[in-house]
Structure 1
Amino acid sequence: MNEQNNNTNAAFMEVTTRKVEGQDKKITAIEEKIKDIPANTELLHKVLRGVDGLRSDIKEASLVPDQLIQFSNRLELVKDLLKQPPINKVVHHHHIPKLIWISVGLFMALCLVCSGWYIAGTKLEGFVASDTKYRHLRLDTAHKGLQLYLDQLDSAYKAHPDFRKKVLETEEEYRLNFERLQKAERLKTEAKSLEKAAGRNKGRIN
């Protein structure tokens, strides 16, 4: 038992001795380095300048991560937009083609032209009819008085440029007078009917 304790103590002392010797060597090396510092002052200054340069480079390089972050954020935004593409709403504007407008305009113009042709044709037919009647009267040479009257009308038409206007006004006046006479006759008939009705009612009362 005592031998085991002695062996353990010996081993412990050996390890402790080695560690102490190692620490002594490190201390000796540090002391030698400290002694050499004055001789290496210029080298230390160079190292410090190099460190300062590295610090400035690090400061400049520190901006790069910020730019990368901004670029990354933009990429994320573009990615989100691509995931949700804009909805294209197609609005159908019903534009009437110009050809249809042109066709409508031509149709209206054709209607106006046809109306003008119809009116002109109607007037022409009236003139032809009047001319035919006048010529027929001229062929009846047996009526001397009629021929003289037609001659007078021809002379009056040539002498008075507004002869046609006066004839039309006179014709319109005759037409109005005829309508007035018809209205008067109708009122007279209604008055007689009322008188008869009043007489019958009077007889019933008596």
Structure 2
Amino acid sequence: MAFVDGLEKPPETDRCYSASERCNNVIISYILRSLDTSIARSVIYCTTAREIWQDLEERFSQSSGPQLYSLQQNLHDLTQDPSDSIAEFFTQIKNIWDELSVANPIPICRCTGCTCGITRKILKQQQEERLIQLLMMKIDNKYNNVRSNLLMMQPLPNVQLAYMLLSQEEKQRQASALTSESMGHMAFTTYDQRERNQA
């Protein structure tokens, strides 16, 4: 991160110069590989990781009203399709949350020796809002019991715990369905054999 944040380049006479250049080039390659090809082409001639980062920051870090509106609309419209697993659905909603976090980041207190813990409080509030979004309007109604249990917890659990409990419920339902199907197949086989014996 020091290279991205603007680590001061040592002079060419410094014995660390070649190591610094090598590290800078590695960071540049990481950044370029993570970018879309068209965006990577626009920054390929920058000589430091810091230059690339500043260029990208100037172009893409500005959140806009339409962008936030679109993300909030996507979040509002998203519901779990009955054919989607909890993991698939959670990935969809988490992608929107991550985009919202980038577009509208949580403010960070920069006071010297700050003890108010405002950032931690805001983060906790954001986690609770996301839990409510996940449980109140997004997941399938077959998870009503898990939803009720999670909402009755004091304090409210984090989103990761909610996801884990929902996944466990889903696996238990799948196991029960397989057991029922197996029992039904066994009953049919037994009935079929009995019919043949009587014939």
What TM-score do the two structures reach when normalised by structure 2?
0.27
Q: Which has the larger radius of gyration?
A: 1
Structure with higher helix content? 1
What TM-score do the two structures reach when normalised by structure 1?
0.26
Task: For CA contacts below 8 A with separation 6 or more, give which structure has more relative contact order.
Answer: 2
